[in-house]
Amino acid sequence: MERKFKITGMGCQSCVRKIESGIGQMNGVESAGVNLIMELLTVRADEARVPSEEIIAVVENLGFQGEEIL
C-alpha cells in the first residue's frame, strides 16, 4: 500500500536524497520517493509493518517535518 506525506524543510536535491535513502533503508519499506517541488514523500510499505509514526520519526530525525496526507 502506498502512503503520502507532506514534507517541509527541504531546500535542495540533497535533502531529497537524505530522505529517500533514510526512509528507503527502513525495514519493510519497498520504495521511497520524494518530489521537492510538491514537498511530497511517497512510501510503498506494509502499513502494519511500518507505521506512519515511524516514517515521520525518521523524517524528523533527519531534520525535516512530515505529516501524513490522509
* Residue with Cβ nearer ligand 9UX (21 or 47): 21
- Quote the least distance from Cβ 61 to ligand 9UX, whole Å: 14
Binding site for ligand 9UX (CB under 6 A): 11-12, 14-15
Distance, in Å, from the CA atom of 67 to the CA atom of 47, rounded to the nearest integer, reads 15
The residue (of 1 and 12) whose beta carbon lies closer to ligand 9UX is 12
Length of the chain, in residues? 70
The DSSP secondary-structure symbol of 46 reads -
- C-alpha 44/C-alpha 37 separation (Å) is 20
| CB of 57 vs ligand 9UX, minimal distance in Å | 18
